Structure 1
Amino acid sequence: MVNSMLVNATGKYVSTQPTTTGTSNQSNNNLYITTAAIPFIILVVIVICVVHYKRKRKCQSITTNTKEEDYTENEDNIISRSCVQLEQLTLAPPQLPEKRFSQRRSKHSFQMSTFTVLDISLQELLKNGKRGCFYKAKLRRGNCKGHKLVTCKIIKNGVSWKKMQGEIFIMKKLGYHNNVLQLLDWNIVQEPHMLIMEYAGLGTLKTFLRTNRAQLSTNKNLQRLLALAAYYIGLGMEYIASKMIIHQDLALRNIMVIRFPQECKITEFGLARVVSNPMFRNSKKSTKSGVPLRWYPPEYFKSNTYSFPSDVWSYGILLWELQTLGCAPYPEMENVEAVVFGICSGYRMRKPSECREEIYRVMKWCWADIPEQRPSFSDIVRHLDTIVEDDNDYVRVFINEERYQMSHQTPTTNQASVLTASSAEG
């Protein structure tokens, strides 16, 4: 103890042992840093695991979507087992409180409907969709904007209020176009919720082509008729795109027919959305079960995106459906996993047997792997307009040649007798 102490100038002892305070503080700081870092590292590991798990689930949800069969099943079978029976459609009280409805109604100016299901006679099921059943219907009293016969969509249970609002808002925004099914009225206050649209008595274009396949197959003007239908549907999609609306569910089953081929009308806007940027090219879209995978483009599976060029891809699939008179796309694929893998790997469907080369070129144009290399609907309409005009010129020449041949052919016995009789009367 004495050796480690010295006397300073004041006569007090001072310790000569080295101080350890600085070293202890440094060790404590290192301990604090290590202790604080451990929870952070654990949190990072958890986040990485969660992200990996979600991505895995996402891939599984895309490739194992069993609900997709509803889009490719024979529509006759779907109609025969409709989930909504006419006699079961009875009036029910509103699901939502009146206060909540009035707040939401003011946002998009939704008026109270003057019609309920009791005012409508549902006569025939036209289409069983994912979110609703389409019926041929007749109003029991009065008319709806001049229409006595209407198409009535009964919305299925499980469709959210927001989805119903969105579909009505988009159809109101579209207004009237010759190739878009017009919304006349709606009732989403009382169950069953319903939309009232203009009458499309021939049902869906898919059902129309399948039902009349035998007759159409022997029609010498079939390719001209199909080109006209494609042209008018293209006009409808050009109009929809001009309103900054992406459809997201374009397929033959969602085209209603009033008069073939001139009045083929686009419907089913349950997945549609409005975008505000005219230069819009790409937007994230959450993966959901039940989307029509056979009509969706590769960018949806690769980066979970859907944009205006994605609707163009679906239009190319619709052209293929038209040319096969209602066949399901990718018939050579055994399951949905094979379809998704094929689309992402660059596989494209072969030209249908009776399809013209110029129409198949439009399909392949729509199926460009890079979205920016696909045409706009205005480009498609201009291209199809040229094809339709050439067809009309061919028909006019063909008719004129037939008339010329008839006027110069030798009269048959019956014709000669008619001519003799007419001359005698003269």
Structure 2
Amino acid sequence: MSDLVPPSDDWLDAECRRLLDFGRRVVHPVGGAAWLDDDGEPDLARPVHTWITSRTVHVFSLGHLLGVEGCAPIAAATLDGLRTTLHDAEHGGWFTAVDATGAPTGTAKSCYDHAFVMLAASSAVVAGIPGAPALLADATAVFERHFWEEPVGRVVDEWDRSFSQSAPYRGLNSSMHSVEAVLAVGDVTGERRWHERAGRIASYVVALAEAHDGRLPEHFGADWSVDLELNRDRPDDPFKPFGATIGHGLEWARLLLHVDATLGDDAPAGLLETSRLLFARAAADGWDVDGAPGFVYTTDWDGMPVVRNRMHWVAAEGIAAAAALHRRTSEEAYADRYAQWWAYVVEHLRDADRGSWHHELDPRNRPQASVWPGKPDLYHAVQATLLPRLPLSPSLASALAVGRGRASGMMGA
């Protein structure tokens, strides 16, 4: 048993509010959410990204549901950017990003972005943000028409602007965030097919984890053939890194438990066992393996570190996964990991002086900005303060709406 004491629910609540306060200047003049620098100032030289904007709508909708003053206007303003500036009025769907004039910076339409639009819209509907129901209807229609792939029961990763040609690539990252999104959509709409889609993707992850000893492949061909060599020459790619991604193993460990709790008797077999496997593999391969505490970013297929930088989101997902497994099993080992990883966040990642969390540290836990300059994203850190205090189902916004945000007392002292 660890001697470390986990943070109390009151501390988690205060940290959540501190994070939200850091992001109060996020609204971009052209619409949507700005990329924030280390002090929370908008970096207007960078594009406005759909994924950052969507995550901003999501977290400030959660803030509004928590009763944090000033969150609703931020959620509304950034949601308006999804309805206007970032939306492709000609072909439908959402651009990946736009520049300071509102012009798209590329032509691809990615499932990753569209999954986050669905998550944003679903949270905003629950929070009562104006325009959210129409956004949710649009986002779900686009997802069903272009990104959900029958009969395989998975997602198409990318299309061209007109949705006439799909890319010859499939990815587990977009699949992962699609699971998160469709669980939330199912909770908000009450339509069971969305939850069932999460189950179908999850069943594939169960098979992948078993076949690869808990090191999940991330990249696939159009026929879902595994590609273990993609980006070997660019191992620190922020969205498609080479090798096994430690943080995704942890994130999947948690998501499988959400799917299990949501579907109940209809859940695919093996979700808890696979969650345990993914968590154990990520902890063994990724945590404190190179002479300093922290999670390495990626490993090769034998579990050796490739990119040793510490990303804030990996620690956040480790915390959330440990909390979820403890809730599901009541096993003390997960509570120990939870306390250990929060202690690491407080000592190394949490920026008490300038706000938010450092997004990237070097292998000796010094702030670095080779992959993630600035502090553009509150999503992972905010969720790390909320998930330990909420049930495994329903999803965050729906759980907060029924007043369960401070009732669980799950891990806190």
Between Structure 1 and Structure 2, whose CA radius of gyration is higher? Answer: 1
- TM-score, normalised on structure 1? 0.28
Where relative contact order (Cα < 8 A, 6+ residues apart) is larger, the structure is: 2
